[in-house]
Structure formats: C-alpha cells, structure tokens
Amino acid sequence: MWKSTNNQALRERALKVIPGGMYGHESTGMLPPDFPQYFERAEGTRLWDVDGNCYIDYMCAFGPNLLGYGHAGVAEAAARQAALGDTMTGPSAAMVELAELFVGMVSHADWAMFCKNGTDATSMAMVCTRAHHNKRKILVAHGTYHGAAPWCTPNPAGITAEDRSHIIGFRYDDLDSLEQAVAQAGNDLAGIFATPFRHEVFADQFLPSPEYAHRVRAICDERDALLVVDEVRSGFRLARDCSWAALGVQPDLSCWGKAIANGHALSALLGSEKARAAAQRIYVTGSFWFQAVPMAAAVATLRELRDGDYLERITHTGQLLRDGLAAQAATHGFALRQTGPVQMPQILFEDDPDMRMGYAWTSSAIRRGVYLHPYHNMFLNAALTPADVALTLEVTDQAFAELKHQRPTLAPQANPKVLARLQSMAAAQPTRLAA
Amino acid sequence: MWKSTNNQALRERALKVIPGGMYGHESTGMLPPDFPQYFERAEGTRLWDVDGNCYIDYMCAFGPNLLGYGHAGVAEAAARQAALGDTMTGPSAAMVELAELFVGMVSHADWAMFCKNGTDATSMAMVCTRAHHNKRKILVAHGTYHGAAPWCTPNPAGITAEDRSHIIGFRYDDLDSLEQAVAQAGNDLAGIFATPFRHEVFADQFLPSPEYAHRVRAICDERDALLVVDEVRSGFRLARDCSWAALGVQPDLSCWGKAIANGHALSALLGSEKARAAAQRIYVTGSFWFQAVPMAAAVATLRELRDGDYLERITHTGQLLRDGLAAQAATHGFALRQTGPVQMPQILFEDDPDMRMGYAWTSSAIRRGVYLHPYHNMFLNAALTPADVALTLEVTDQAFAELKHQRPTLAPQANPKVLARLQSMAAAQPTRLAA
C-alpha cells in the first residue's frame, strides 16, 4: 500500500527552514505530487522513500550511482579509507593513483584536477580556456546545461549581463550557426563547449553529426582555442573513454563528475598536454577537494568500469526497456519518443504538449514502485537486471492501461511553472535544433 | 627518524598527472620543502604523513576538523547513514533536521540551503543579494578571500574584467573607504560582504571595530541591500552563533562551510526572512548537494557544538599555546606577532620581511613533529589537550633554539613566488588597513 504521510510531514517542516521547501535538481517542485521528496535508503537499483515505499530507480540520483547504490567494492574501499582519514591537511596517495588511473582510461587526457561539483569542473574548464592565451570568448550551445554558476545557470535571477558578456551562443549541431559564432568571436576565441550529445530537460535527445564534432575540433586547431567536452552527465555511460573518442575527435579538456566515484562527491577536469600550462596558472580550490574517501572510492569505481562488463550490461538492459516500452505503447495505442542512448533514455509522449500524459503515466508508475522521470533523461545503473526490467515492464503495462482509461478525461498535470516553460519551448522550437 | 622518501616519490609521480604537481590551498608549493604533501591517516589532533611521520596538527585540514579527526560521535552518525544511503534521487530526512538545528543555533537565520564548497555558499550569497531587488553592485573588502570562483579568486589568470565589473572594493574596517564605495554603488547597491574578522595569508589578523560592523548594517538597511557575513573559515570557532552576534550585528545572509560537518563535505548559506524570497528565486544546485551522509554528520557535529564545551576548550588550549610561545620567543630573543583569536592563531615574526625566520622555524617544528603554518592562520581543534600543547611547546622551544643558532647565516627560505608576493604586499601596505 503506497503511502506519503512521512514525506508530507517533512515537506511541511521544510517549507519553514528551506526556501521554497527545496531547491535544485532534486526538488520535486515541478514533478507530479506523487513523487516522493525524501528517501530513507537505497541498495543496488532499489530506493526506499521515507514512507517505506520501494522503487526500481531509473534516476540513480541523477546519474552518480552507475554501479548501483552501495556497490560492495566501492563501499569497502571508501570504508577502508574512512577509517584512516578523509579531509586532512593534505591529500592522500589515492589522489595520485586516481589521476594516473583516470588519465590511463581517457585517451585525450594527460593530467587531472579534482573538485566537488560538476559546475566546478566546467567553470575551471572555462577559466583554463581563457588562461591558455588570454583570450575571452567562449562558445556554448543555446540551452545546454553546463552547471549552475552565474555564467551558465539556466535561471537568470540574480545574474548580470556581464556574467555572460563573453559567452557566445550557437545552435547545437548546426554548422552555419557555429561558424557565425566563431566569426563573432574573431581573434578573441578562447574555447568551445561541445556537449557530447544533446540531453536537455523536456526535449528529445540526439547525438551530434560527426561533421559537427570534427568541425569544432578543426576550428579550435585553426584558432588555437581549446575544445571542451562536458561529460559530467554522460561520462562513462556511453564509453570507457571520452564519448567523442568514438567519433575520432579528442578534446583538449573534458569535465567529469556524477558517476566517477559511484555516488561519492567528486568531479574532475581532465586535460591534454596542450592545456597543462593554462591549468597550472589558474587558482582554484575548495575546502573538501582533497578528501581521501571520494578518491579511494573513485579508484575502486574506475577499476570496476575499466575491467568489468558494466557497459555491456546497461546497454543490454537499456535496450530491453526501450523495446519493451515501444511494444507496450503500440499495444495500448500510444506513441512514445524514446531518444538518446538506451543507457540514458529520455521518454516523452508524442502529441503531449502540456505533458499531461507523461505526468499521469509516470505518476501511475511511481505509485506502483517504478521511478521514471517525466521530463529529465534517466540513467541506467549496472545493478539493474533483466528481471528488474521485466518487473518494470509489468508496472508500465498497468500504467499504460490506466492512462488509456484516463485519457479522455485527463487534465493537465504539470504546475503553471512547467506549463509556461513548455509553452515558451514550443514557441522557440520550430526544429529540434533550436532546443 | 623523520623521513620523506614516500612523499618525494608521490610528488614525482604527481608532476606527470597533476598540473604543477598539485593545486589549491593544500598544495605545499609555497611552503618549505620539509612540509609533507601526502598524508596516510589522521586521528584526534594527530596526523601521519605517507612516510609514517606523526604530527600534532594545527591546521585541521585548514579548518574542517573542529572536533578533531575521526570524532567518534560524528563518525558513527556518518557510518550509520552510509549503510542506508548517501547520494540518492532525493535528500534524506536529515536535510530537514539539519536545517532546523542550524537555524536554531544561528540567531539571524530563518532558513538554510546546503551546498559543497565554501565558494558555493559565497557565490550563492552574491547571487541572492542581486536577486533581492535586481541591483548589481557588491562591496567586497580589498584582499579578503571569499573563494576561488571568477568573481573572487585571488589569482587573475583566466579571469576577465567583466567577471568583476560589479564588485567594488573598499578598505576593511575603514569607514571612509566604505562610504566612498557605497557612494560609487549609488542606487545599484545589492550587498556588502563583511568578513567577520581579518584573516588573510601573510598578514596579521585583526577584529573589526564595532563601529564598522554597525555602520555596514546601517548602510544595508538604509539602501535595502543585504549584509553578508562570510563565516566559512571562522564559523563556530569564535562563537556558537554567527561571529557578529557578539557585536550586536545580525547579517541577512551568512556563509558556512569547513567545520560544520567536522570534515565531511558540506557548506551552507543561511538567511533571514528578508532574504528568503530572493533565495527562492535563484537556481543553484550540484550533483552531490543532497548527500545524506554529510548531513547526518553535520547533525551530529552541530549537536556536539551546541551542547558540548569545545569552544571553552579550544579557547583554553589556544591561550596556553599563545602564552607559551610568547614566553619562549622572549627568552630566545625573538619578537612574534601572534594575532587574531587564540582559536585561529596567525604567528608571524617581527622584522622578517622575506619570512626566512618563519620558514626556518616552522621547518624545524615539522621535522620534530609539530605542524605549524608559516603564513596561513591556523585552526585549533577540540581534541587538542593541554598535554598536547605542552608537547608542542617542547618542540617549539627546540625550534627557537635552532633558529637562534642559524640566525646569523640564515638565507631566505621562501621560493621566488612567495618572495615576489611579500615584496608586493610590503609595497602596498603602508598600514595594516591596506592589506
């Protein structure tokens, strides 16, 4: 019996001591009301909320738990280091070991710097591109998420025009738009941020054309600018290397986070020899950047990623889920848009401009023990088994059946903030490229 | 027998895979060569480097371990939560409990937001002051450290003029300079960053005058700007409340980090009712901001701070250390400048413009098992006992004796980067206020 009493009580307490009750990407403020805000525990691919409801979790904390919650090898490495020391007056040997291991896995990288937030890594990349030759302009594709600092946060409250005065936008995967932005930067082009693939909320995902990736690389070479690939979200879910290595394109800098320590707080900037001098010139730091526990956890995680079959497994289970959902949707008379790599699926309903169907369907799944997201890409973890996918598909089949029944009388589920956003996106998006 | 073989080997490996071999505030690049870069373990107030040398540590990882390394109550709370879950698809109940506890301790605060870096908290404060009434100018005292983001990092490499185009500098604790800056901001004053006391590297520390603190508050009230007190470094080392509560001055926002979870990665922005709406409007987040383990550790830490006698103990041991060092220095014919609160001592030698004496003395102490810092304020932790201070004073007595012997032939110890910095500081500092 699904309950939400404890969640509700915590939400009410939170409203007093946390602005708006919650903030950031883990806020359920834009989700259907059935989505729990607070969780009690997690194990493998299962997640329990504070009311004891158990979910098969397709978010993995928005990415981090790639090997599954509480992976034994990683947990053991972390506990072993925690017994010795964590935040000390200097780093432990694990920092050097981790840098060597990471650089050994990512083919473009010759060095690594570690930090805490994905935003730390992307902001350091930005500063590095500018320190490289004292140029200023940074090209960033319209609407791509690179973090929540003033130069990149998606919400303009408290942000000044000057925070972005050297950021030039272009349309992702659109060569004409890219060339226009390059021309606008002139001799002041410091770097280009090139999201490995398009993964934005409320929108279909897609991979860029190889031509785009190669052209970005060529422009950076011609103008001695630095190419940055932001792998914070996608890192190690597409490949055991930088995602663009498969396209034959090597960046100068890559940003990592989320999954690299399987849920421990760690992010990283990796760079090639060319960018080393710039990285050495900048001053960046943080109180907890030298913690030994997340680094020991990352060493264990990266070894498992390098030597194990996690990638083959998440690709297999991801495909099982995608195929199963496509068949169910057809049977029940719905058309789904399942986009992006199967390991990071985005699932949207066709002809659902206000998302009433997506919201109702994921609400129905939540109440039956499957945590799917109505508008954010999901993340498969390696603890998910084909049997878990089969259980998931039993639930989604019931959710489709319920949705079919509700459909004629379904009202919009999303709150006014989401509806306004969807309307403005629809108005701004004559094609997928304008996302 | 003091050794550095393993440290040396790690430094050489690091040079290949970490730019410059190390970065940030835990780099030993500006310290005497005897200072170890890598550590093996820590317990209470003791720290062991990778060569097995043991130190009484007066840095506490630059602040975080206020209760001592591996404090049993905090470690137990963290382990209990780690067995349940850490980085999940949403926060745990500990987040609400922590916000309630924190707000209950800090008298100006009505709400809390949690993040990872001190820089996250100060940057969020900056964005909040701007979101409050859509004004832009922020007053920041010259040379104060508020983090390592583009708007505040002390090193200009990779930073553009626009990153700071709305930051107006003033001389700390100087009312004329403050008023000039306020006039310059005109009707566009968003907020004032008011470091609780002056604690900068290479310089004496000092508390501000009450007049300064009250004037800053009055200006913010007159102009409906927000007053920010950055407690990241000083939080809970001067008081069980915001440091300025003792002056009768309540800020609108305060920034916390380092010590609030006794070494676990957590920082926080606290705010008053007046600032709540602004905090609710901004978009800030991070992959690991909702981790349950650091929040559970912080709940245990804050309870211990609230209910225990840590503050009386670090004040007592700090005074023992200061008095002991002053007596020893006089005996050996040296004049020390011991400034700031005894819980966060800064120790510099008089007449030591190139720091050759400070470097030699702390080198001598390091080789004898006491980790003192030659130019950064230190941090006392509550695990330090009067017996530890007595042991420390035995070592420093030997170090003074050695220094007296070396003095006639002592050459500058600091590297060229430090010497250049000291020269430029000396040139720029006709009085302490120009720091």
pLDDT digits (tens, 9 = 90+) for A141-163: 999 999 999 999 999 999 999 99
pLDDT for the residue numbered B430: 43
In a domain? residue A100: yes
pLDDT for the residue numbered A426: 73
Q: Which residue has the tokens 């937001």?
A: B113
Same-domain check for residues B224 and B337: no
B358 neighbors B422 (Cβ within 8 angstroms): no
- pLDDT digit string (tens) for B258-301? 999 999 999 999 999 999 999 999 999 999 999 999 999 999 99
pLDDT for the residue numbered B206: 92
Mean pLDDT, residues A370-388: 98
In a domain? residue B100: yes
Using the beta-carbon criterion (under 8 Å), do A232 and B92 form an inter-chain contact? no
Same-domain check for residues A228 and A349: no
Coil/strand/helix, residue A114: strand
Same-domain check for residues B231 and B329: no
pLDDT for the residue numbered A432: 41
State the nearest Cα–Cα gap between A281 and chain B, in angstroms: 6
pLDDT for the residue numbered A428: 64
Q: Which of A22, A64, A280 sits opposite B20 (nearest CB)?
A: A280
Instruction: Give chain A positions within 8 Å (CB) of B296.
Output: none
Measured distance CA(B88)–CA(B99) in Å, rounded:
18
Q: For the full predicted model, state whether its pTM sits above 0.95.
A: yes
Using the beta-carbon criterion (under 8 Å), do A84 and B42 form an inter-chain contact? yes
B62 neighbors B199 (Cβ within 8 angstroms): no
State the nearest Cα–Cα gap between A332 and chain B, in angstroms: 30
Q: How many contacts does A have with B, using Cβ atoms within 8 A?
A: 355
Measured distance CA(A286)–CA(A269) in Å, rounded:
14
Measured distance CA(B338)–CA(B327) in Å, rounded:
12
State the nearest Cα–Cα gap between B245 and chain A, in angstroms: 20
Q: Which domain, by its residues, includes B191?
A: 72-307
State the nearest Cα–Cα gap between A44 and chain B, in angstroms: 10
pLDDT for the residue numbered A433: 36
Predicted confidence (pLDDT) at residue B123 exceeds the cutoff of 50: yes
Predicted confidence (pLDDT) at residue B239 exceeds the cutoff of 80: yes
Same-domain check for residues B15 and B92: no
Same-domain check for residues A202 and A282: yes
pLDDT for the residue numbered B431: 42
Reference B234, options B150, B314, B151, B127; nearest CA is B314
In a domain? residue B67: no
Nearest CA in chain B to A127: B158
Nearest CA in chain A to B379: A89
Best residue of A7, A11, A18, A34 to probe chain B, by most B CBs closer than 10 Å: A18
Mean pLDDT, residues A34-43: 97
Mean pLDDT, residues B396-418: 91
For B251, the token pair is 């800020």
Mean pLDDT, residues B87-99: 98
Instruction: Give chain B positions within 8 Å (CB) of A112.
Output: 17-18
B54 bridge partner residues: B48
Using the beta-carbon criterion (under 8 Å), do B18 and A128 form an inter-chain contact? no
- pLDDT digit string (tens) for A301-349? 999 999 999 999 999 999 999 999 999 999 999 999 999 999 999 999 9
Instruction: Give chain A positions within 8 Å (CB) of B60.
Output: 89
B182 neighbors B153 (Cβ within 8 angstroms): no
Q: Looking at residue A389, which CATH number applies to its domain? A: 3.90.1150.10
Using the beta-carbon criterion (under 8 Å), do A38 and B90 form an inter-chain contact? yes
Same-domain check for residues A124 and A177: yes
Same-domain check for residues B255 and B316: no
State the nearest Cα–Cα gap between A127 and chain B, in angstroms: 5
Using the beta-carbon criterion (under 8 Å), do A69 and B79 form an inter-chain contact? no
pLDDT for the residue numbered A429: 52
Same-domain check for residues A36 and A84: no
How many other C-beta atoms lie within 10 A of the C-beta of residue B183? Answer: 10
Instruction: Give chain A positions within 8 Å (CB) of B9.
Output: none
Same-domain check for residues A281 and A321: no
Measured distance CA(B281)–CA(B278) in Å, rounded:
5
Instruction: Give chain B positions within 8 Å (CB) of A126.
Output: 150, 158
Predicted confidence (pLDDT) at residue A430 exceeds the cutoff of 50: no
> Among the three residues A307, A341, A372, which one is the final residue of a domain in this structure?
A307
In a domain? residue A67: no
> Among the three residues B256, B285, B307, which one is the final residue of a domain in this structure?
B307
> Among the three residues A288, A307, A326, which one is the final residue of a domain in this structure?
A307
pLDDT for the residue numbered B417: 81
Same-domain check for residues A292 and A363: no
Confidence of residue A413 (pLDDT cuts 50, 70, 90): confident
Q: Looking at residue A262, which CATH number applies to its domain? A: 3.40.640.10
- pLDDT digit string (tens) for B413-433? 778 888 888 887 777 654 443
Same-domain check for residues A184 and A231: yes
**Local structure of residue B338 (DSSP, 8 states):** E
| Residues A89, B21, A66: CA angle, nearest 5 degrees | 75
State the nearest Cα–Cα gap between B63 and chain A, in angstroms: 8
* Number of separate domains in chain A: 2
Using the beta-carbon criterion (under 8 Å), do A117 and B118 form an inter-chain contact? no
Q: Among A100-104, B406-410, B413-417, which stretch is predicted with the lowest mean pLDDT?
A: B413-417
For A42, the token pair is 């997690």
- Helix, strand, coil distribution of chain A in percent, nearest 5: 45, 15, 40
Average pLDDT of chain B to the nearest whole number: 95
For A24, the token pair is 């950031």
Nearest CA in chain B to A115: B117
Using the beta-carbon criterion (under 8 Å), do A42 and B154 form an inter-chain contact? no
Same-domain check for residues A11 and A87: no
Instruction: Give chain A positions within 8 Å (CB) of B72.
Output: none
